[in-house]
Amino acid sequence: MEAFTTTTPLWRWQSATAPAAWFFVTIAGETADGIRLAAISGQWLDGRKGFGSARVDVQIGDTRWQTSVFPHRESGGWLLPVKAAVRKAEGLVEGDAVTVTVSL
């Protein structure tokens, strides 16, 4: 399993039609390239699935969980959703710099 760590801001996406907000960190640059290469040489060998997503294990602070990262056209990197339970456990709010480790 390969691990990639980066620090990036937590940001919020809000739909114009839905009341709920989603929170993400954007993983870009060399870290994003490493994730892509690991996915290509591992889980994507049987073909890409789920919007080109990659399954990952994630750690922020003391909190660990499994999710997927999704391709982000604008940055050429990945979007990592950060659920409410993680934000609460780690005391994170929009704009915080988040150190995240992604393994796959």
Domain segments of the chain: what residues? 3-103
Nearby residues of 79 by Cβ (< 8 Å), 6 or more positions away:
24, 25, 26, 27, 69, 70, 71, 72
Nearest to 99 by CA among 45, 25, 48, 40: 25
What does the alpha-carbon distance between residue 52 and residue 83 come to, in Å, rounded to a whole number? 20
Residue 45's pLDDT is what? 46
Residue 19's pLDDT is what? 75
pTM of the model: 0.86
CATH number of the structural domain 3-103: 2.40.30.100
What does the alpha-carbon distance between residue 82 and residue 10 come to, in Å, rounded to a whole number? 8
Mean pLDDT of 51-71: 92
Bridge partners of 56, per DSSP, are 67
Residue 101's pLDDT is what? 97
